[in-house]
Structure formats: structure tokens, C-alpha cells
Structure 1
């Protein structure tokens, strides 16, 4: 059985009896969980709003500076590390995949938010100045509702969280920021979703273009215009990300990782990795150890 890097379970962190939700002040959370192993993955959704402190954190090996009113969102499976400086505080909210199920009829509802697409750069951002007071106050209201109001009204908390998501989406949606035509934005999001499902076995833009019922040229043009790269590069970047995630585990050999990602042999995987990263998989692993 292939082992991977530590995976944190919501129920191991949460004091809430149904183990679907945790809301805490960040300073208290860090004190309670000072022994967290890094890097690690979550099997739940994770969001943090910083109100003070400094340092950095990394999502899927992309580094972000910590500053007041910096916010980030993470989806299950992403790799995370912290390197905080000074007195760090704010709010942390963890919730399970199932948390919204009793309220929402659409199981894929959360996938519609641009910051929950699993792309690190889209999940970390600075809260706009005109929203700072509103967001801080609303996070405190969620904290009060979860930790001090008895009995806990789960659906009310769900609605409060969805309000936060929708307010942030209004400010941050790539469709609005870049003025995507709705059809093109939908195509790109569907392309990204298909990559998540098939990146280990479908490597060519033509494969995805067929699934989207468009031509490879059309897909390449969309990616070039809105993402600044060809469709093939988008696919390769996702394969590379998974390779990095797996390399962080000292329990998987290079051969096992190569097989996991459907490469024909180790040498081809090594050439692929070194061409994109500038070092071999072994060197990357030692560098991150």
C-alpha cells in the first residue's frame, strides 16, 4: 500500500461533537495544535483570515506572505506549510465535505466558487480595504455562533459561511476580474475540472477538447488568452503539482511515483520533472526534506 504525507482529519482537530466543523481564533488554534506536522494535507476544507502577524505559508509549494487581512482557502488534498513570525491571530474555519449537504441540494455547489478550485494562486488573496471591517465582524459572529450559542444551529452557520463565500466571490471571481464571456469562463472551468479527473491518463489537449466538444485550436486559444499559456502546459502543470505532492512523502520511491502518474518509466518521469523544475525528483525531495 502506497503511503502519502500526513493527512489531517477534521474530527481530530474539532471539538464539535459531529466533527464536521471547527471555528476558532487562530492564536488559540495554533496553541491547541502546536504539534501539527508539516507539510501536511487536509481531508476537509480549510480557510483562514489573518488579523495580525507575519511570516509566510505555502499552498501546494506556492509561497504567500502573511499580513493582516490576508485570507486563504484550501480544498481537500492540497499540501500546506506554515512559517509564522510574531504574534499571529485571526480566524480559522475547517469544515467537512459533507457539512453543507443537509442544506444544499447540489453536491457540487462549492465547486462554483473560484477560490475553491484547487489552484493555490486563486485561493489566497488580500481582503479589499472596503470589506475589512465587514469580514472581521462576520467571522467573529460565526465564531460566537459556533462556540457560545447553545444549541448550535448548523444550518444558520452554513448560511453565514455561504454569505462570506458569495461576498468574496463578488470581489474575486475571475469572470468579473478579467471580464470573461460567460461561455468562455465555463469552458475553462470545465477544462480544469476534467484535468482534475483525468490528468494521470489523459495528457493531450485533443483528449480534453473532445470531451468539451470543441477543437484543440479553440481550447489552446482560450487558455492562451485567459491563462497566458497553452492547454498542454496547463495539463503538464497539474501533473507536476501531483508529482511534487507525492515527492514530499519519504515513503514513496521514485518508481512508485512514476507508476502512480502513469509514466512509462522512471527515466521519462525524471526528464519530465527536471525540464519543468530545473532539478531531478531526488534533488527536489532532498530540498524539501
Structure 2
């Protein structure tokens, strides 16, 4: 560990599996980050802009910002920027394996339709901060069953973060400004057909709407183009298959609608900045039930 960072290293792999890092400015986040672990960033003070993938999201005040495996992001603040970041490798805590205990995958992580930023009230900030302080104290101790205690605190952090975000989503859904029905139909269509329909035009035809009109409503409500949404959904499934199964890359490519393994590899590298094989090599392999 060094400076404001507390780290846990896997003694066998000699690699980082868990980290808590306190920050006082945006220097660490001003360049593009791509981690082979999940990131949970609790901002206690700050205002600025988050860039995630190809989209930008503003924040103003305390908030929770979450990023998935190898999701490119950077943060630029306007003045004061303070908080703490928690990183965990899937070998330390597998979201897929623990999905019934911690329903955060699709809420805090791998949610292609919502902002990665969740605004926090004072009591919510204090709740999450107290849990992170528990993580920090445990990392500084040398007690028995340290990993089990850290995982318990991490579960609490993820559960409470998910509860806060879900409550906000439910409140927004009940407000006057509702999401157009066409977008709920689109989300269902993407979930059903992402492995066979890859172009914006195909979804526009399916929904009987022009591609331009569908793109406009996507940009307005999701801050992404339709093509971006489709690509993100394919990448999420590709990552899941690479981590949870031992299927050859060629088979994964075929199941995701790519007839050419090399085209799939280029597609993956274009969006994740690394090859499918490198992703599998650095994330590890966990044969949890998919």
C-alpha cells in the first residue's frame, strides 16, 4: 500500500484484488482509466463531468459512480473533488456468482440505459462512507478471516448503493416526465435480439419507426445513439461469456451473431481497447453458473 491507498494482493497471482483509495483532487482520474476490476467511487465533494465509454454525465455534489470491467472512464472536476474509490477484482468477489445476494449487476454495473452517476443525499453519503471506513479498518488489521470480513462489508456497500439507485429510479418513474413507451419496447427488443440484430436500422424496422426518429429519442433519454446501445449490450454478453465459460472465442463470436471470429475480435477491441483473449487472461476464469 502507498499514500492514500490500502491494497490487498493475491499471494498466488501476485496481483491486486482489492483496493481502497482516498483522493483529494481529480489528478488520478483526469486520464482515461480502464481497469480489470470493478470500481465504486464515492464522491463526497465535487462538481464536474464524467466521461464513460462515449458519453458524458454531469455531477454536482455527493454521488456514487460505478464502472464495470475494462469500462473506459475519466472524471474532470470544477474545483474541489474529494472522496474514496473501492476497486475489486472478480476473482475476489464475483458479481455473477453472488447475483442472488447482491442484485447490483444491471443496477450499479453493466446498466447501458442509465447514467453511472447516482446523486446522494447527506444521510445516504454517510451510510456508504461508514461502510467504506469499515473496509479501510479491516484492510489495516491482520485479524483472522480478513477476506470474509471485507466481502461482507463490500456486499453491504453494493446492496445499499443498489437500493439508493433503485429507489431513485422508482421515484423518477412515478414522476410526471415518463420515458416514452417506445423506449421500453426498444429495451425489450434489444434484450431479445442483440445476438442476431446488430444494426440500428433493423430495430427501427422492428419497431416500425424511422432510424432517425429512434436515434433522436435514444440520445435524448439515454445519452447514447441506438448503435451505441446495441454495441454495449453485445459487449456485456461477450464479457460475461469470456469470464463465466471456457467456450472458445470463435464459439462466443458465432453465438453473438458474428460469422467471422476476427471481425468479432476487432469489434471487441474497438469497444474495450483489448482483445477478447487478453480480457479472459486478465479477468480470470470462473465457472460459476451463468
Normalised-by-shorter TM-score class: 0.5 to 0.7
Q: Which residue of 2 aligns with 1:276?
A: none
Aligned-residue CA RMSD (Å): 5.0
Q: Which residue of 1 aligns with 2:156?
A: 163
Distance 1:15 1:142, change over 3 A: closer
| Counterpart pick for 1:20 among 4, 17, 27 | 17
Runs of 4+ in structure 1 deviating by more than 6 angstroms, as ranges, are 185-190, 226-230, 256-259
Q: Which residue of 1 aligns with 2:202?
A: 204
CA contact (8 A) 1:239 1:261 kept: no
Distance 1:176 1:198, change over 3 A: farther
| Counterpart pick for 1:237 among 225, 228, 238 | 228
The Cα of 1:146 is off from its aligned counterpart by 2.2
After superposition, what is the alpha-carbon deviation per residue over 1:60-106, rounded to whole angstroms, capped at 9, x for unaligned? 23333454412200011322123234443211001112222499455
After superposition, what is the alpha-carbon deviation per residue over 1:151-187, rounded to whole angstroms, capped at 9, x for unaligned? 562222222222222223223224664269xxxx999
The Cα of 1:121 is off from its aligned counterpart by 3.8
The Cα of 1:241 is off from its aligned counterpart by 6.9
The Cα of 1:142 is off from its aligned counterpart by 1.9
CA contact (8 A) 1:78 1:118 kept: no
Gaps of 5+ in 1: 1-12, 210-215, 218-222, 243-255, 263-289
Report the Cα distance in structure 1 between the residues aligned to 2:43 and 2:190, rounded to whole angstroms. Answer: 29
Report the Cα distance in structure 2 between the residues aligned to 1:102 and 1:240, rounded to whole angstroms. Answer: 22
Equivalent residue pairs, number: 218
CA contact (8 A) 1:203 1:235 kept: no
Q: Which residue of 2 aligns with 1:56?
A: 49
CA contact (8 A) 2:197 2:203 kept: no
TM-score where L is the length of structure 1:
0.55
Q: Do structure 1's residue 139 and structure 2's residue 135 form an aligned pair?
A: no
| Counterpart pick for 2:91 among 67, 90, 98 | 98
Report the Cα distance in structure 1 between the residues aligned to 2:6 and 2:194, rounded to whole angstroms. Answer: 28
Which has more helix, going by share of residues? 1
Report the Cα distance in structure 1 between the residues aligned to 2:49 and 2:133, rounded to whole angstroms. Answer: 23
User: Partner of 2:51: helix, strand, or coil?
Assistant: strand
Q: Which residue of 2 aligns with 1:43?
A: 36
After superposition, what is the alpha-carbon deviation per residue over 1:202-246, rounded to whole angstroms, capped at 9, x for unaligned? 973399x8xxxxxx57xxxxx99x97989xx9642335779xxxx
Give the 5 Å matches for 1:223-262: 235-238=226-229, 260-261=266-267
Q: Which residue of 1 aligns with 2:173?
A: 178
Report the Cα distance in structure 2 between the residues aligned to 1:167 and 1:49, rounded to whole angstroms. Answer: 12
Gaps of 5+ in 2: 11-15, 209-213, 234-261, 269-290
CA contact (8 A) 1:195 1:235 kept: no
The Cα of 1:47 is off from its aligned counterpart by 1.2
